[in-house]
Amino acid sequence: MNRRRGRSATKGTKSTKGNQSYCSFLLCFLCLLWLISPVSSFAQIPLNRFEVIRVDTEDIERLPSSLRPIFADPLPDAEVVNNLNDAATRAGFTARLPKENKPQQIGVISPTSVQLKINVAELRAALNEAKATGVAVPDAWDGLTMNLQQRAGVFVDFGDFFIAQAPARMVSAEKELPLDQFIEVLLRVLGMDAMKARDLRQAFAGAPAGFFPIPKRFEMDIHSVKLRTGSGLFLQNASKQGEVALAWSDSDRTYFLSGFVTESQAVSMADSLQ
């Protein structure tokens, strides 16, 4: 592209040669700075909520393999450390613990980072396999990427229950990719009906969430509970027996509690973290 260089006004000045040289140097410097400066085209979004979806292994396997990490286990294994100070050094933060419970074992959850790439042909084939209708995958999505990042976390075992905590999982996607629409497409591939997928899309657009898949064969009691920091998601077998789980977040991290406790005990411990 040809660019026309503007002519400097020199009338009434003693000399402009030095000024012109300086201006040319400054212009070249600014252009070089613009060229080498990284221009991020990614929008970074924290996943501060947990959303349970009822899907089986074969449903997730219907997804293109490059996209399956979106529905991976939200709680990976932890490496045992000597004490809370070691955990704080490794994770970069001090764990918040219930007031009246003593830790029996402490671990550090390793950070993870996964890049996902969209293949439009594979995604359309997955929709056809799921017999999902009324949902489209735009050509413009082909080759777009997104990243899932989870910083290090701390796992504390108290015997009858454990608490895992870490900064919120982050998703970063190219700005050309509308994440809520993309999530709706994935949910349809998993076999979710159109109305339910649209509802979850709207919920994700209002408050982005990480997904917690649970097989359909398990009868579950899943409901929201009120906490000091907001609301949490409580999970328990429909029989009200066995382990329970509680997931919630505050201003700087997410938490997951699970074990042989009652709902009221789980809520009380969540409210007592310090």
Q: Which tokens belong to 4? A: 């026309």
Closest alpha carbon to 224 in 31, 102, 49:
49
Q: Are 16 and 8 in contact (CB under 8 A)?
A: yes
Closest alpha carbon to 166 in 179, 145, 149:
149
Our measurement of the distance from residue 171's CA atom to the centroid of its chain's CA atoms, rounded to an integer in Å, reads: 4
Cα angle value 92/96/99 (rounded, 5°): 155
How much is the pLDDT for 4? 39
Closest alpha carbon to 127 in 67, 201, 179, 217:
67
Q: Residue 76 carries which side chain, given as an amino acid letter?
A: P
Beta strand pairing status for 209-214 and 49-54?
parallel
CA dist 246 and 59 (Å) reads: 25
CA dist 242 and 259 (Å) reads: 8
Strands of 112-117's sheet, edge to edge?
Answer: 42-47, 169-174, 145-150, 112-117
Domain ranges in the chain are 43-272
Closest alpha carbon to 234 in 78, 243, 166, 274:
243
Q: Are 201 and 179 in contact (CB under 8 A)?
A: no
| pLDDT tens for the chain, residues 1 to 274 | 443 333 333 334 344 445 555 445 444 443 333 334 344 467 789 999 999 999 999 999 999 999 999 998 767 789 999 999 999 999 999 999 998 889 999 999 999 999 999 999 999 999 999 999 999 999 999 999 999 999 999 999 999 999 999 999 999 999 999 999 999 999 999 999 999 999 999 999 999 999 999 999 999 999 999 999 999 999 999 988 899 999 999 989 999 999 999 999 999 999 999 8
Tens of pLDDT, residues 35-89 = 343 444 677 899 999 999 999 999 999 999 999 999 987 677 899 999 999 999 9
CA dist 203 and 180 (Å) reads: 9
User: Who's near 150: CB < 8 A, 6+ residues apart?
Assistant: 111, 112, 113, 166, 169, 170
CA dist 226 and 172 (Å) reads: 30
